[in-house]
Amino acid sequence: MAEGEFEFIARRLRPLAAGTPGALRLLDDAALLDPPEGAQLVLTKDAMVAGVHFLADDPAAQIGQKLLRVNLSDLAAMGAEPIGYLLSIARQRETSEAWLESFCRGLAEDQAEFGIGLLGGDTVSTPGPVTLSLTAIGQVPRGQALLRSTAEEGDDLYVSGTLGDGALGLKVLLGELSLNAAATVFLADRYRRPQPRLALGRALRGLAHAAIDISDGLLADLGHVLEASDLGAEVWADRLPLSLAAREAADAALEAALAGGDDYELLFTVPADRRAKVVRLASELELPLTRIGRLDVMPGLRVLDADGQPIHLDRTGWTHF
C-alpha cells in the first residue's frame, strides 16, 4: 500500500467511520460488530465500474451515494434495516483530490440520511477505470426476511413508486433522448440517486409473501421471483406506474418500465385478501404502491395490454426466463 493510501484512509475514510464504534477508527485489520439480539444479519455486495455502471462525468458525490443506495435497496428488498457498510475503492493515480473529497462528502450525507456508518474497507490503485465495491450489512428479526422464493399462486403483484425513470434518465444523460428541462432534471436524478425503499421493506415483513428490488428491469426481476417460486404471472402493461417525466418519453416509457432496470423500486407479492392493508400502507408511507398483475401456475410471464391481449417484446429483460 503506497503512502498516499494511508493518508487517504486517515483523511477521507476515518471521518466516515467516526460514529461507528465497531470500525475501531479504521486502525485495525477488521471491524468488530456486536450482532443484534434476536436478529439475523443480512449481507449484500455490489460493485460499480466507471463507464459501465456510472458515467465518468457523473458528480462524484452522487456516485458514492448511488453505490451505497443500490446496496441499501438490496437490504430493503429483504425487509432489513441497515447497520453499516464496508467500501473498496480502486482509484487511478489521476483521480483528483477534489473528486475523492466530493465522493466522500456524498457518502457522509447519505450516512446521515440512512443512519449508518462506515465499518471498514480499503483503497488500492488501478491503471483501469475507477472500480468501487461496497458491502452493506443489515438486520432483520429472525425468520422474517422477505425472500424471492416464497410467492404463492394467486398473489397480487405490486410495485412501489414509478418505473422506467432510471433507464430513461440514463438515456437522457447519454444524449439518446431529448426531453424538456424539468423532465431531464427529474429523470437524471432518479438515475443517479435511487431511493432505497427501506421503510416499505420493513413494513412488508409479515404482509408480503415475496419481494425483490428492481435493478435489472421489471420483467427480469419478476422472472427471478417466478423462477425461485416456481410460478408464472401476468403483468398488466396499462397499469404500470409512470412518472409525469417518463410520460414525456412516450413509447420509450413503457419499454423502460418493463425492461429498463435501475429503478430500485420494490416488486412484491401479497395475497389478495390483504389489498386493503396495502392501500393503507401506501397512504402511511406517502408512496404509490400499484397493483400491476397476478401470479398463477401457468409457466412463464405474460404482458397484457388494456384489452387483455399479449404484448410481445424482444428485450434483454425477456431473455432470462
Nearer to a copy of itself by Cβ, of 121 and 241: the residue is: 121
How buried is 217 (Cβ within 10 angstroms: 0-12 exposed, 13-18 middle, 19+ buried)? buried
Q: Within positions 20 to 59, which residues make up the interface with a copy of itself, using CB under 8 A? A: 22, 24, 27-36, 39-49, 51-53
224/274 with CB nearer a copy of itself: 224
Buried b (16+ CB within 10 A) or exposed e, 49-86: ebeebbeeebbbbbbbbbbbbbbbbbbbbbbbbbbbbb
CB closer to a copy of itself, 136 vs 242: 136
33 or 55: CB nearest a copy of itself? 33
Q: Which residue has the cell 458515467?
A: 55
From 223, 211, 228, select the one nearest 303 (Cα to Cα).
Answer: 223
Angle at the Cα of 85 (from 191 to 46), degrees rounded to 5?
50
| Total of chain residues touching a copy of itself, rule CB under 8 A | 73
Binds a copy of itself by CB under 8 A, chosen from 15, 99, 108, 147? 147
Nearest approach in angstroms of CB 142 to a copy of itself is: 8
SS3 137: strand
Q: Which of 140, 226, 237, 270 binds a copy of itself (CB under 8 A)?
A: 140
Q: Which is nearer to a copy of itself, 91 or 179 (CB)?
A: 91
Task: Restricting to residues 215-254, name those near a copy of itself by CB under 8 A.
Answer: 215-216, 220, 224, 227-228
Q: How far apart are the two ends of the chain, measured CA to CA in Å? A: 45
Task: Please report whether residue 15 would count as binding a copy of itself according to CB under 8 A.
Answer: no
